[in-house]
Structure formats: structure tokens, C-alpha cells
Amino acid sequence: MTFVQSVKMAAKSIGSNKGRSFLTMLGVIIGIAAVIILVSIVQGQQDAIMEQFEKMGTNQMEVYYYQWSGNTPDLTDELQQFCAELGPELVIGISPQKYAWSNSIRYESKQAEYPNIYLASDTYSICAGFTIAKGRDISYLDVKKLNRVCVLGSKVAADLFNYADPVGKKITISGDEYTVIGVYASKGVSEEYGGSYQDNVVIVPYTLEKRVNKSSGSSSSSYEFLVKAASSDVIEEAMGRIRAFLETKIDTNNGYVDVYSNSSWQESQTEGFAEQAVLLGSIAAISLLVGGIGIMNIMLVTVTERTREIGIRKAIGAPRRAIITQFLIEASMVSTMGGLIGMIVGCLGTVVAGKLILDTILAPPVYILVVAFLVSVAFGVGFGVYPAIRASRLQPVEALRNE
């Protein structure tokens, strides 16, 4: 018997018991669909978070240093000079990022809703991943001349000016007037990932710290910087060099130096999602195992029902290999058909689940579909082996006596 004849016989056998065949496929259908949907949802969540990281700025480093006792030295100029010496191959921007302890920002009778005021340099937008939508950015001269100017995040601009152009207007910060010279474009980050926080900012030159904070500064205050590496390939080297430089200036027995990057957060998120995908995929795969056992069970029933047919085939000279091949083809056809239906259900379920859970249109990754198809075929062959071997071991005389 040729392979084509075996396939035709298997198809005829499946078609003659449509209801039973479908129920046998059901476990595989549910298992394949569940794996596709769950893994696709996890992948969609990971892609969404990675996209938000991209919008918040890539290749960033946060730099902190602090001294427990005595005055914490101001290394702003030295650190900026050191980063300039590293060259654009490692660092393309550095800016102080000190928080201003004031949330009183007003324009006429309107007040911004809990804005975050940062004291920064002219390279802050490069380091933080902002782009100017209106007006201009803070300049080097603004920083050096202590110009009372500011750049607003899109949310602060909307709170204070609605749809009016803020550029050139004067707002009050801690009772002092500052001229709005620019507005940053919204980062488009959802509130779930800190979107309002990203756009609810006001940037003023860091040289105005004493005026904004209305104090001479605390002797125990920490210093914070935002640094932009040239690429993710060199960020570890840049972090190491900056850390080593600061540790020559700060006594770590009487303080600390901390340098970390957002890439470490991305890596931890990626690892977490990978573990989640494996866990959920493994749980869904249990139904596949149940489906495989169902295939083996129904194939054993089929062997019993077709004992006389097997006896006749063996009596006229059919080798064991032909019997095994026949039943393996039938088992793999049942499993593969269930896998294909499960893939269709999984794709449709992914679209629906993506819209309901993530409010977006998701498509299963191609590799998941390929793996699902291969697994369905493998399950059919794997769980069909025992029934096929059992059928091939039947003795012709005993099989022909079967009624």
C-alpha cells in the first residue's frame, strides 16, 4: 500500500466518524488555541511596555552621589567636563536633574496640577528624549546668565493656557516671574506607564536653584544627573567610567555613588515576560497533553474496531511497518486537523483578547504559529505510536476470529 493510499484510508476512517473525530480533536484545538492566545497576549504586553520605554528615552543613565556628613561637593562642572572628554562615541549629553521643591506654578488665575519642576541644563531634552513643539529650548547662555526662563511639558501648557500659545508669556514659580520660551511635544506615553508624569514637567536652568528653592541649599543634599549614552552597545562602558570617576571624588565610606540605566529595567522586564510566557504556555499545554491522551485512547478504540481488517491485511502479506504507518498517519491527521483549527481559533481569540485586555489589535507571532503546527503533528505521531504498535502485533489468525 502506497503512502497516498494510506492517507486516503485515514481520511475515510476519520470522515466516517465525524462526531467522534471532532471530539477527539477538541483537546488539541483548545490546547493550541490557549497557547497561542496566552503567549500572544504576553508578547503584546511586552511590546507595549518596550514601546513606552522607547518613548521615554533610550540609552539613559541616572547618576546620583551623596555624602553622609559634611558638605556634598558640587561636581557639576567637573562631571560635565569628564563626559565631554569621553567623547560622542560614549556620551552625547549630560544634564543636572535636581528637583525644585515647589509646586506653585501659576498663570493669572490658573494653576498647574502638581507639576514636576526640574533644574536642568541646555542638554536636558537630549538626555530625556524630549522634542520642542513650540518656541525654543533652554540655551547655554540661559544657564550661564541665570536667565529666568522655562520650558513647559505639554500637560502643564494645557493646564495653564488651554489652546493658547504659551511662548512669550510669563508664569510665576515660587512667586517669581519666568518667561516661557518653549513647549515640549507630548511623549505620547499612556498614563499606565507614567504618561502624565512625563509631560507634567517644567524645566528651568539649574543655575537658578537657590532662587527657585528659596534657600542657600542643604549641605547634605544629593546631586542627580541624567546622562545620554551614544548607544546601548556602549552604555555599560560609559556607566563604568562615570562611576569610577565619581568614586575618586566621593568617599564611599561616607556616602555613595549610584549609576544605573533604563536598559537594566528593560532587561528585567524582558526576563519577567519571558518567564511569564513560559509559565502560561506550560499551563495551556496541559490541555494539549489531555488532547494527546484522547487521541491515543480513540486510536486504541479504533484498533479494537478494526481488528478483523488488520487480520485480513496481515494474512495477505502486509508487513508490520505498513500497519504502523497506517495508524500513525491516521493519528497525525486527527492531531494536525485539530492543530489547524486551533490555530484559526487562536488567531481570532488573540484579536478579541488583545482588544479587550490591551485595547489594541494583536496578531500572534509567526514563530508561535509554526511551533503550534509542529507540536500538533508531533503529538499525533507521539500518542499514536502505542496504538499503532499494538495493532501491528496482532496475530492474523486471532485477528480473523474477532467479531
Same domain, 234 and 321: no
Question: What's the pLDDT score for residue 180?
Answer: 95
Question: What's the pLDDT score for residue 222?
Answer: 66
Is position 257 within any domain?
no
Same domain, 272 and 239: no
Same domain, 109 and 236: yes
Last residue of one domain, picked from the residues 249, 281, 305: 249
Same domain, 165 and 114: yes
Is position 256 within any domain?
no
Same domain, 288 and 392: yes
Same domain, 238 and 330: no
Q: How many domains does the chain have?
A: 2
Is position 62 within any domain?
no
Is position 259 within any domain?
no
Please list, in sequence order, all residues whose beta carbon lies within 8 angstroms of the beta carbon of residue 183, skipping any fewer than 6 positions away.
Answer: 132, 133, 134, 135, 151, 152, 153, 154, 157, 166, 167
Q: Which domain holds residue 130?
A: 74-249
Same domain, 273 and 244: no
Is position 106 within any domain?
yes
Question: What's the pLDDT score for residue 162?
Answer: 87
Same domain, 370 and 280: yes
How far apart CA 35 and CA 99 sit, in angstroms, is: 46
Is position 13 within any domain?
yes
The pLDDT tens digits along the chain (403 residues) read: 566 766 777 777 777 777 878 888 888 888 888 888 888 888 888 777 766 665 555 688 899 998 887 778 889 999 999 999 999 999 999 999 888 866 678 888 888 878 889 999 999 999 888 999 999 999 999 999 999 999 999 999 999 998 899 999 999 988 889 999 999 998 865 555 444 578 889 999 999 988 887 754 444 456 899 999 888 788 889 999 999 999 998 888 888 899 988 666 666 666 777 777 777 777 767 777 877 888 888 888 877 777 777 777 777 777 777 788 777 888 888 888 888 998 999 999 999 988 888 778 888 888 888 888 888 888 778 888 888 788 777 776 665 665 5
Is position 91 within any domain?
yes
Question: What's the pLDDT score for residue 156?
Answer: 92
Please return the burial class of 389, using the count of CB atoms within 10 Å of its CB with bins 0-12, 13-18 and 19+: middle
Question: What's the pLDDT score for residue 309?
Answer: 75
Question: What's the pLDDT score for residue 194?
Answer: 45
How far apart CA 337 and CA 190 sit, in angstroms, is: 41
Same domain, 143 and 27: no
> Which DSSP helix (H) or strand (E) runs through 170?
strand 170-173
The model's pTM: 0.59
Is position 64 within any domain?
no
Same domain, 114 and 163: yes
